[in-house]
Amino acid sequence: MTNIDRLIGLRNEIPPEVQIVAVSKFKATSEIQNLHEGAGQRIFGENRAQELATKAAQLPKSIEWHFIGHLQSNKVKTVVQVASMIQSVDSYRLLLEINKEASKAGKVQDCLLQIYIAKEESKFGFSEEELAQILNDNAFHNLQHIRIRGLMGMATFTDNWQLVASEFGFLRKQFEQLKNGIYSHCESFGILSMGMTDDYRIAIDEGSNMVRIGSGIFGAR
């Protein structure tokens, strides 16, 4: 099976309204180019700022890059220059930095708020309380160079699929609350990014409309 075969298999399986982010971290630019030109894959995900910048410089501008890794303040400028979306916004401080760099770059940066849903210390994201706090803060809504497009989350790394489903269900509930509440007049708010190679089926059952697939396309890392 080639990468293209695996991607096409996924597309045939996944409902058409669910977008696929091809997670290309550690993969060569030639493999990305091949999927982009050979199968029309448009969205690719990277989790390291420098790797993203290097690849973006070498590959066609028609690719949309999503940044999906934990982002440090000193790397924000690099990412803002090339990312169409930052999926992994996990603190208010980071939002302020993104707003500042996007302003300098003369763009409005599309972002997802990453929500902490796993039972794992190692994962990042806003807690329910932190999310409520920033949503109640006028300063947050006045960031002129940030556009919040939706939410992202990562479930616990486990084969306890009931736990995974309940974590995704929890994220979906928060998403629906925002979509029908504070963002109800916001056409652009509508992305729920959840699900990876091992759990995308569960994520889609729980309402995901964007999956981030690495090894399921490129083979094991």
Ligand X SMILES: *Cc1c(COP(=O)(O)O)cnc(C)c1O
Judged by the rule CB under 6 A, the positions of this chain that interact with ligand X are: 23, 25, 47, 68-69, 154, 196-198, 212-216
CA dist 171 and 43 (Å) reads 23
Q: Please, which residue, 6 or 212, has the CB nearer to ligand X?
A: 212
**Min separation Cβ 211 and ligand X, Å:** 8
In the bound state with ligand X, the residue whose beta carbon lies nearer, of 123 and 147, is 123
Nearer to ligand X, 80 or 155 (CB): 155
H-helix segments, 74-199: 76-82, 92-105, 128-135, 138-141, 161-180
CA torsion, ordered 185, 189, 190, 195, to nearest 10 deg: -150
Min separation Cβ 193 and ligand X, Å: 8
Residue with Cβ nearer ligand X (150 or 216): 216
Q: Which residue is nearest to ligand X (CB)?
A: 214
Round to whole Å and give the CA distance between 29 and 62.
14
Structural contact between residues 160 and 173, judged by C-beta atoms closer than 8 angstroms: no
Burial (CB < 10 A; 0-12, 13-18, 19+), residue 220, is exposed
Between the alpha carbon of residue 70 and those of residues 48, 157, 199, the distances in Å are: 8, 17, 20
Least CB distance from residue 144 to ligand X, whole Å? 27
> What tokens appear for 35 in the block?
């999927």
- Min dist. Cβ of residue 35 to ligand X (A): 14
- Cβ distance to ligand X smaller for residue 68 or 131: 68
When the beta carbons of 52 and 143 are compared against ligand X, the nearer one is 52
